[in-house]
Chain A
């Protein structure tokens, strides 16, 4: 393993400290652990809290700020934060309007956030939750824990965060978050795995000619493995799965071409070139495109495509002001 780190057990702490030092105008860290909150608490709004394992930077700390999150809780790399950490985060940002937890659909994340929510409710804090499950690679059936939450989560932060900023009530903010979840779909692929620092070796191995299709954001294997193809063919394959899941015909969409950590922007643009053409052919209008690293998997060489189907409300909230370290609008 070769990484710019000091010690494997210091990775998360030093990453968060470095993030705070980079963005003191936006962020502050709680004393109790790796919980990042806005540098000044905003009252009279629903507080949004999200988080998950580390290794997805800029998610989620990078999205703390005006128009997006109020708190982000970072666990160990690819490991859900613990209930007491999430609970401290909730307490730090809770207002009379309540708290919305945005949880990515992983067994550990759901259990830890739910336990934290129960602890906060025992203190009289009103807590609601939404569970993001945008990854179409995983079948949502009785035989799995359901689809995973991946890059589409950033759209939930953006849009629910924008509505919360207006002072809307908890039910409305939860409803719009759910509306984003219902309308966003993502699928990814990778050509090189990532190494969790504490594990010291890659989570899976791929031959020079292979790719993992349907990859998750934790270096966990995807749905299948096949010979690598051209960027256009890969984009077509992933898009066809997304388009088969929701009927996007005639609608406007936001597109996210998300880099997994070690994919050059050059390649992300090559992929977007194809995605934009295919959508145009199918009569799906692209309202806005986001290309870059929004939800990474440490140094995985991979990417995902997300499509969010928009209506007037979602468009307005997508365009609303956001000022955070990693997302500005």
Chain B
């Protein structure tokens, strides 16, 4: 994936988030403070405005710009978390003209580590990490087995969706949903859901 394609993917993610804004906000209403979709849509709206100017830059620059824009426009918890994730991907891909599956996996791992550090969180706390970590592991496993990128991303998306389902079964121990204790059980995590939407767009374009 080169810059042109990456920009197209980011644009599609922005469109997806905008169209799912109300759904994501509704999920957050139940266990959080009801702003996940609104905040992400505002951030990706700003991201879109900057994409044209990045057409001649390397992919790392695009990802860095996405991350910095999200940090400075989303607010809440998802701004620093997604922002850190995209910035870390950018740092991991520095100097590369094209993102190949192996590069993506490395960048994805860097993003996960950045989000874990920023959010002081790990898998099993009903957060976006519950979709991200299984997705990354599934892509890596499928890729190592037969090096088919399309199949690998399909496995990753399936794992992310399972991760979203898994978040319904556990109580949150991080974020505002943790205040609800066991009352958060039965509801899917909005962050895991929005991440899965993003990964599905990436998968479509591989």
Residues of A within 8 A of B148 (CB): none
Residues of A within 8 A of B38 (CB): 196, 198-199
Task: Tell me whether A23 is interfacial, beta carbon within 8 Å.
Answer: no
Residues of A within 8 A of B176 (CB): 106-107, 145, 216, 218, 220
Q: A76-B35, A107-B174, A196-B38 are in contact. List 8 more A-B contacts (CB 8 A).
A: A75-B76, A82-B73, A82-B74, A111-B77, A145-B179, A198-B38, A199-B38, A223-B181
Residues of B within 8 A of A219 (CB): 33-34
Which residues of B does A touch, CB under 8 Å?
25, 29, 32-35, 38-39, 42, 71-81, 118-119, 171, 173-176, 178-181, 183
CA distance A198 to B25 in the complex (A): 10
How far does the Cβ of B204 sit from chain A's closest Cβ, in whole Å? 29
How far does the Cβ of A272 sit from chain B's closest Cβ, in whole Å? 26
Q: Establish whether residues B75 and A76, one from each chain, have CB atoms under 8 Å apart when the complex forms.
A: yes
Task: Tell me whether A58 is interfacial, beta carbon within 8 Å.
Answer: no
Residues of A within 8 A of B77 (CB): 80, 106-108, 111
Residues of A within 8 A of B178 (CB): 143-145
How far does the Cβ of B120 sit from chain A's closest Cβ, in whole Å? 9
Number of inter-chain CB pairs below 8 Å: 106
Counting contact residues on chain A (CB < 8 A from B), the size range is 35 or more
Give the residue name and chain of the B residue nearest to A138 (CB): B179
CA distance A85 to B79 in the complex (A): 13
Give the residue name and chain of the A residue nearest to B180 (CB): A221
Interface string of A103-122 (1 = CB under 8 A from B): 00011100110010000000
Residues of B within 8 A of A221 (CB): 180, 183
Q: Establish whether residues A79 and B76, one from each chain, have CB atoms under 8 Å apart when the complex forms.
A: yes
Q: Establish whether residues A139 and B80, one from each chain, have CB atoms under 8 Å apart when the complex forms.
A: no
Task: Tell me whether A210 is interfacial, beta carbon within 8 Å.
Answer: no
Task: Tell me whether A148 is interfacial, beta carbon within 8 Å.
Answer: yes
Q: Establish whether residues B34 and A108, one from each chain, have CB atoms under 8 Å apart when the complex forms.
A: no
Q: Establish whether residues B39 and A79, one from each chain, have CB atoms under 8 Å apart when the complex forms.
A: yes
Contact of B71 among A83, A144, A145 (CB under 8 A): A83
Considering only residues 135-150 of chain A, those with a C-beta below 8 Å from chain B are: 137-139, 142-145, 148
